[in-house]
Chain A
Amino acid sequence: MTMRNWIQIFALLMPGLGLILVLIGSVVYIAIAQSFGYYALLGESAFSTEFWSEVFSRKIFSRAVRYSIYIGFWSAVLSVALAYPLAIWLRKPFPGSIGLGALLKAPLLVHGLVAAFLYINVISYNGLLNQTMQGIGIWAEPRRLQNDSNAFGVLLLQVWKNMPFALLVLTGSVQGISDDVLDAARDLGAGPWARFRKIIAPLTMSGMQAAMVIIFIGALADFTFQTTVGPTNRQSMAQLMVSFKSRGDWHSAAVVGVSLMIIALLGSALLALLTRTVMRGSPR
Chain B
Amino acid sequence: MSYARLNSLLIVMIVTVALIWLAIPFTMAILWSLVDPAEPWTADKLLPPVMSFYRWVDMWENSSLKYALISSYSLAPTAAILGLCLAMPTAFALGRFNFAGRELAKLLCLLPLVVPPFITAIFFSALLFQLGLNTWRFGAIVFAHSILFLPYAIRILTVSFENVRQDHIDAARDLGASPWARFRVAYLPALKPGISATLLIVFIQSIEEFAIAFIIGSPDIVTIPTLLYSALGQDFVRPNAAVLSLILVVPNVFLMLILERLMRSANPALSSGKG
Contacts and interface: CB of A to CB of B under 8 A. Distances in A.
Interface string B49-74: 00000000000000000000000000
B130 interface: yes
B90 A113 contact: no
B118 A104 contact: no
A20 B147 contact: yes
Contacts of B238: 121, 124
A9 B99 contact: yes
A46 interface: no
A135 B192 CA distance: 56
A20 B108 contact: yes
A241 B160 CA distance: 40
Given A100-B14, A121-B29, A111 B248 contact: yes
A113 B230 CA distance: 10
A13 interface: yes
Interface residues of B, number: 73
B40 to A, nearest CB: 11
Nearest to B257: A109
Interface in B195-229: 208, 210-211, 215, 225, 228-229
A250 B129 CA distance: 11
A224 to B, nearest CB: 6
Contacts of A221: 116-119
A215 interface: no
Contact of B150 (A16, A218, A260): A16
B118 A223 contact: yes
B232 A257 contact: no
A241 B127 contact: no
Interface residues of A, number: 70
Nearest to B218: A246
Interface stretch (B17-25, B177-185, B266-274): B17-25
A20 B111 contact: yes
B215 A14 contact: no
A217 interface: yes
A241 B122 contact: yes
Contacts of A238: 116, 118-119
Interface stretch (A26-34, A59-67, A198-206): A26-34
B59 to A, nearest CB: 14
B129 A41 contact: yes
Contacts of A224: 210, 229
Contact of A118 (B29, B91, B124, B147): B29
Contact of B28 (A41, A118, A218): A118
A23 B11 CA distance: 47
A111 B122 contact: no
A21 interface: yes
Main secondary structure of the interface of B (DSSP, over half): helix
Interface string A1-21: 100011001011111110111
A254 B42 CA distance: 47
B133 interface: no
A21 B11 contact: no
A96 interface: yes
Contacts of A257: 119, 122-123
B124 A23 contact: yes
Contacts of A245: 122, 215
B38 interface: no
B10 interface: yes
A41 B128 CA distance: 11
Given A24-B112, A100-B15, A113-B225, A13 B119 contact: no
A93 to B, nearest CB: 12
B147 A19 contact: yes
Contacts of A122: 24-25, 28
A109 B11 contact: no
A20 B210 contact: no
B89 A118 contact: no
B245 interface: yes
B43 interface: yes
A52 interface: no
A264 B116 contact: yes
12 contacts: A11-B89, A12-B89, A16-B109, A17-B105, A19-B147, A109-B249, A111-B225, A114-B248, A160-B21, A217-B114, A227-B233, A257-B119
Interface of A: 1, 5-6, 9, 11-17, 19-21, 23-24, 26-28, 30-31, 34, 39, 41, 86, 89, 94, 96, 100, 103-104, 106-107, 109-114, 116-122, 124, 126, 128, 131, 160, 217-218, 220-221, 223-224, 227-228, 238, 241-242, 245, 250, 253-254, 257, 260-261, 264
Which 6 residue pairs are nearest across A and B when measured between Cβ atoms? A16-B90, A221-B116, A118-B25, A12-B93, A12-B89, A114-B245
Given A19-B86, A112-B210, A221-B118, 16 more contacts: A6-B99, A9-B97, A15-B85, A16-B87, A21-B108, A23-B144, A27-B123, A28-B115, A103-B15, A111-B245, A113-B225, A121-B29, A122-B24, A126-B42, A220-B116, A223-B118
